[in-house]
Amino acid sequence: DGGITQSPKYLFRKEGQNVTLSCEQNLNHDAMYWYRQDPGQGLRLIYYSQIVNDFQKGDIAEGYSVSREKKESFPLTVTSAQKNPTAFYLCASSITDANTGELFFGEGSRLTVL
C-alpha cells in the first residue's frame, strides 16, 4: 500500500540530546513537509522540501534540521537548541509543491522530553 511512514511513534529524550524522526513515503511525491502540533493549536510548518537536495525553512525552523538526500525520505532532527521540543510531529507529502496539490499525512511521532 502507498503511504507515508513515520517512526518511531513514541520517543522520549533527555534534555540536551538530539533526536531524529524518520519519514518515508512511497507515493512518488516530490514535496515533503514537517509540521508540529501542540494542544489547542493549529499545525505549524517547520521545514519543507520541494525536490531532492533542496529544502526551505518554515515558520518555526529554529532548533530543527532536515535533509533530503532521497526522494522517499525526509528525516527531521530535533536538536538540543529547540527550547520546547515536546510535541506531536507530523510529516506530509504532496505530488508537487504546486498550488493545487493535495496534502497527505503520516501517523505522527510523539516526542517527550524528560
Partner 1 sequence: KQEVTQIPAALSVPEGENLVLNCSFTDSAIYNLQWFRQDPGKGLTSLLLIQSSQREQTSGRLNASLDKSSGRSTLYIAASQPGDSATYLCAVRSARRQLTFGSGTQLTVLP
Residue 97 binding partner 1, by CB under 8 A? yes
Between 62 and 107, whose beta carbon lies closer to partner 1? Answer: 107
Q: Does 42 bind partner 1 (CB under 8 A)?
A: yes
Candidate list 48, 55, 64, 74; residue touching partner 1; CB under 8 A: 48
User: Residue count at the site for partner 1 (CB under 8 A)?
Assistant: 24
Using CB under 8 A, pick the residue from 40, 54, 84, 114 that binds partner 1. 40
Question: Hey, what's the cell of 90?
Answer: 507530523
Q: Which of 58, 64, 75, 80 binds partner 1 (CB under 8 A)?
A: 58
Rounded Cα distance, 69 and 74, in Å: 8
By CB atoms closer than 10 A (0-12, 13-18, 19+), residue 10 is exposed
User: Is residue 62 within the footprint of partner 1 (CB under 8 A)?
Assistant: no
